[in-house]
Amino acid sequence: MDRKKIDELIERYIKVSFTVTKRAEELVKCEIDPDITNEQHYLLRYIHQKERCTSTELANVFRVNKSAITAMINRLVEKGFVRRIRDEKDRRVIYLALTEKGSNLFASTEERVHKVVGSFITKFSEDEIESFIQTYEKLANVLLELEVES
């Protein structure tokens, strides 16, 4: 691959990822309950998927400091969507889980988010979207592997 082509691809990637990220965030915002933010919805998604998890785990997955997680989780706890459960074996650890209310909010919101994502994905052929996502997943794995080095 020659230098010129590489530079062209880099420029295109930077531009397109900017556009898609901004627009996708906006679409998600339209679908979620106005009572929560996009980031809060992503937290609910992660906790839902794991059933329960710790602040340290969230900080690592969301790439922020633990204190940022404390602040966001506090808001979700205040709103009654998340609860803290102290580990009885290791009393330093506090597990986070969705409440009934949080679970319901997540389910109904995620259904709308799925619909809107689906409305775009179905504009592509199965082959095209499958190979797109495969490359995207490879890229994600490359980025995830970096962590080992740091």
Partner DNA sequence: TTTAATAGTTAAATAGTTGAACTATTTAAA
Partner DNA sequence: TTTAAATAGTTCAACTATTTAACTATTAAA
Say whether residue 85 binds a copy of itself (CB under 8 A): no
Residue reference for tokens 């901004």: 22
148 binds a copy of itself (CB under 8 A): no
67: partner contacted, choices DNA, a copy of itself, none (Cβ within 5-8 A by kind): DNA
What angle (nearest 5°) sits at the alpha carbon of residue 140, between those of residues 26 and 134? 90
Work out whether 55 is an interface residue with DNA (CB under 7 A).
Answer: yes
- Distance from CA of residue 106 to its chain's centroid? 13
Decide: 54 and 95 in contact? Cβ < 8 Å: yes
User: Residue type at 58?
Assistant: L
The tally of CA atoms less than 13 A away on the side-chain side of residue 51 is 0
47, 76, 96, 113: which one binds a copy of itself (CB under 8 A): 113
- In the complex, minimum distance from the CB of residue 101 to a copy of itself, in angstroms, rounded to a whole number: 23
Residues 58-77, one symbol each (x = binds DNA by CB under 7 A, - = not), give ----xxxxxxxxxxxxxx--
Residue 35 within binding range of a copy of itself, rule CB under 8 A: no
d(CA 47, CA 39): 12
Residue of 89, 123, 141, 148 interacting with DNA (CB under 7 A):
89
* Site membership for a copy of itself, residue 62 (CB under 8 A): yes
Binds a copy of itself (CB under 8 A): choice among 25, 87, 100, 111: 25
Give the H/E segment covering residue 67.
helix 66-78
Euclidean distance between the first and the last CA atom of the chain, given in angstroms as a whole number: 29
Query: Where do contacts with DNA occur on this chain (CB under 7 A)?
Result: 37-40, 54-57, 62-75, 84, 89-95
